[in-house]
Structure 1
Amino acid sequence: MSRIVHRVSRIIGGLSFLLVSCLFIVPHASALTVHPAIQDIEIDPGQTETRTVTLENDEATVQTYVFSIQKFVPKGEFGQQQFLDSSDMSGLPEWMYVDRSEVTLAPGQALSLPITIRAPEDANAGGYYAALFLSRTQAAGEELAMLPRVGILFFVRVSGPAIERLILEDFATDSDSSYAHLPVGFRVSILNEGNVHLAPEGTITVRNAFGSTVAKLRVNAEGGNILPDSRRVYRVAWIKGPVPEGGGYWQGLLRELSNFAFGPYRATLELRGDGFAQPMRSEIAFSVWPWRTFVALVALVFAFVPFFFLAKRLAIMSATAKSDPLR
């Protein structure tokens, strides 16, 4: 009987060890660092341009990567890309050359990879866009769709009489024109009606009711491009500090105190850069009314009013007693 108990104990102990071991196993993820991940190139028709990117294998094992090229077009309003089928090699993909079909990197190894672009003599002026992808080679039993890949985005402009035309479509706050506290979010929507990518820049200046500047915010500080025949929305926030999470009155009061603002404000947008015939300017009004703070102040006033009158009454009684000691 004792042997059976001993064996059962060993089995349970082994299973427990296996379970704990599984809980602490961290799955190994593929990692390849590429720098720079965005290439912005201007090239003349018939010209050849070579750029070098650095690849680094961050894994603990030898890895082999293969290349593929896909054109991309804008998707959505926030700078996303939609990659077209790799069978479409017209335009920029057929201009791009890599001097090898695959690359093998040892653990921690870095490699400089030259990428050449040869624009044909008859290339039309305008923008051309494609991504060079690096994918780890498929292992036995591994699904192709599950393979991670890293992309390098190429924004290529062929010089010539291109069309540069940006239109400011909208400048507004991201919700109502009245807030209880910061942050106040702004939306800047710009349409690119040209045939080249453009990266507008600008500022939003916030002034209070007295005309004093209380905040100056950069628009498109990251230099994000707007592709031809598309619009892009840039979001900018006026915020002073961390925003406490949670619902209820007290959490709301903490949000008002940590990001306090009060009264009417005016926000002035100024945009500049290629694509605008002249600097663009737009202005909107909004207000911040921290009502929870008002309620708290009123409650404090009403809480201290009885004590004030009581203290005043006691002071009068004390003064009367001193002036009339026989009373």
Structure 2
Amino acid sequence: MNKISLFLVTFLFGFIVLPFSANALTVSPVKIEVAGDPGTIVTSKFSLINEEKETKNFYVTFENFEAKGEDGTPSFTTATDGLATWIETDTKIELKPGERKTIPFTINIPKTAEPGGHFAAIFAGSQAPAKSDETQLSVGARTGILVLLTVNGEFKEGGNLLEFNTANKGSFYTSLPVNLYYRFQNSGMSRIMPQGDVVVKNILGMTSNIIPANGIQGNILPSSIRKFNIVWGSEMTDKDTGFFGMAKKQWSDFAFGPYTAELNLNYGADKEVISKVRLFVFPWQLTIVVLVVLSMLYFGLKKYNKWIVGRVLRR
């Protein structure tokens, strides 16, 4: 089975709902979500825009995709069955310079289609696809639209939080940011988009920060694991180096003492999972600066008071 990895698949799989452009061709949207019963026809549409200054022919192809690794990157598979073979639309589209055209398409869901999630991509590119008796060495520049189909019916839905921890599995930090992550397994038959927050609380139980657990709105495909990264605090910059650079960073992004990061996830219809990580932040550079300043103030005030008392006694 021929699998094709594209340089823009990670960007696509994040499901960002803005038009995506590649090599003078723009498609919109980049994600289409539809649902239908077995044996029915589902209709939808997408738009193509020719950004070039000449009339161009664009060719449309279809491929299934599945999860590859844990970072959300999809792996596209040449279609011999599945959703990619159920989609029908014009496969050759002529666009004049600057022309925008709406392209309708249909999905013919077989009566025997298994309930749950089915996933494919509609690709548009300027290179004609290889014929069945040819070997295609290069796919050229293509722009993709993800099609996420849910076939209605009874299907298994399940998930499991495998891990929630800090990025280096440590518990002691001298400054923010603290990088956390969680790994979630989808054991069901349809995609899962976990929702929730990571709530960071200090030793008094007061909330210091609330961070979205799935800020990228990423999906987890069936029978796959996905890793989500979470950052508490602002990222380090080139200015946050050296003793005083770190002290300034610790002051502007202040954290001190023990904290608990609690992950609260919701998925599926009514499922919930909670996990906690404990950590300690000790900004030693800032602590030294504060102690030095306080010492200077203490001895300065002590000397000043001594001078005042001596002045009074001399009168």
- Give the TM-score normalised by the residue count of structure 1: 0.80
Offset, 1:160: 1.9
Offset, 1:111: 0.7
CA distance in 2, matches of 1:73, 1:248: 45
Residue aligning to 2:204: 210
Q: What does the per-residue CA deviation read over 1:185-205, in whole Å, with 9 as the maximum and x for residues that have no partner?
A: 221211011222111211222
Residue aligning to 1:68: 61
CA distance in 2, matches of 1:114, 1:137: 21
Pick which of 216-225 and 185-194 moved more.
216-225
* 1:97 pairs with one of 69, 88, 93: 88
Q: For structure 1, which runs of at least 5 residues remain unmatched after alignment?
A: 1-28, 323-327
* 1:193 pairs with one of 150, 167, 187: 187
Letter of the structure 1 residue corresponding to residue 154 of structure 2: P
Offset, 1:146: 7.7
* 1:180 pairs with one of 165, 174, 198: 174
Residue aligning to 2:274: 281
> Who wins on radius of gyration, i.e. which is larger?
1
Letter of the structure 2 residue corresponding to residue 172 of structure 1: N
Residue aligning to 1:166: 159
* 1:111 pairs with one of 101, 122, 144: 101
Q: Percent identity?
A: 29
Offset, 1:82: 1.0
Aligned residues of 2:179 and 2:231 also touching (Cα < 8 A) = yes
Letter of the structure 1 residue corresponding to residue 26 of structure 2: T
Residue aligning to 2:138: 145
Aligned residues of 1:166 and 1:275 also touching (Cα < 8 A) = no
Where is the strand percentage greater, Structure 1 or Structure 2?
A: 2
Residue aligning to 2:44: 51
CA distance in 2, matches of 1:185, 1:197: 26
Aligned residues of 1:243 and 1:259 also touching (Cα < 8 A) = no
CA distance in 1, matches of 2:148, 2:254: 42
What SS is found at the alignment partner of 2:244?
helix
What SS is found at the alignment partner of 2:246?
helix
Offset, 1:304: 4.2
C-alpha distance 125-242 of structure 1, shift in aligned 2 (>3 A): closer
Query: Counterparts in 2 of 1:1-327, with a 5 A limit?
Result: 30-84=23-77, 86=78, 88-98=79-89, 100-137=90-127, 145=138, 147-175=140-168, 176-239=170-233, 241=234, 243-246=236-239, 247-274=241-268, 278-322=271-315
Aligned residues of 2:62 and 2:85 also touching (Cα < 8 A) = no
Aligned alpha-carbon RMSD (Å):
2.2
Q: What does the per-residue CA deviation read over 1:137-162, in whole Å, with 9 as the maximum and x for residues that have no partner?
A: 37xxxx97383210011122222221
- Give the TM-score normalised by the residue count of structure 2: 0.83
Offset, 1:113: 0.6
Letter of the structure 1 residue corresponding to residue 231 of structure 2: A
Where is the helix percentage greater, Structure 1 or Structure 2?
A: 1
CA distance in 2, matches of 1:60, 1:177: 57
Letter of the structure 1 residue corresponding to residue 82 of structure 2: G
Aligned residues of 2:197 and 2:263 also touching (Cα < 8 A) = yes
